[in-house]
């Protein structure tokens, strides 16, 4: 299963959207990899939301790109709200409720 995850940098007040088959491993990589990347410049990151997406990696990539193309911090805040129910293109997403534990 592939997941869409949203992480947040408190110090930079930035969101980042990604996809992975293991969002917690990816969070660890964002926080520890020694490369000079966007996420390395805004550490530490914390998971705000994780959604089951699809068995197909291509579908996860499509939805991730859709979210990123919106360039909307408001959309990301809505996606992080536990009462939000995805519709339209995002209807395939299923919230994973225990990601912040």
* Global pTM value: 0.91
What are the residue boundaries of the structural domains of the chain, listed by start? 2-95
| pLDDT for res 46 | 96
Residue 101 has pLDDT above 80, yes or no: no
Q: Are 17 and 66 in contact (CB under 8 A)?
A: no
Residue 98 has pLDDT above 90, yes or no: no
- The CATH number of 2-95, from 3.40.1440, 3.30.200, 1.10.10, 3.30.1360, is 3.40.1440
| pLDDT for res 99 | 60
d(CA 51, CA 72): 18
Q: Are 17 and 64 in contact (CB under 8 A)?
A: yes
pLDDT digits (tens, 9 = 90+) for 43-81: 999 999 999 998 999 999 999 999 999 999 999 999 999
């Amino acid at each position: 299963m592939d997941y869409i995850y949203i992480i947040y940098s408190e110090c930079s007040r930035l969101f980042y959207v990604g996809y992975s088959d293991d969002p917690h491993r990816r969070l660890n990589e964002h926080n520890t990899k020694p490369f000079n990347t966007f996420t390395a410049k805004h550490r530490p990151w914390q998971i705000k939301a994780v959604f089951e997406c699809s068995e197909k990696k291509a579908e996860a990539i499509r939805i991730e790109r859709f979210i990123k193309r919106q360039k909307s911090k408001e959309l990301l805040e809505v996606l992080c709200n536990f009462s939000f129910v995805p519709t339209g293109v995002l209807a395939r997403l299923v919230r994973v409720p225990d990601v912040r534990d």
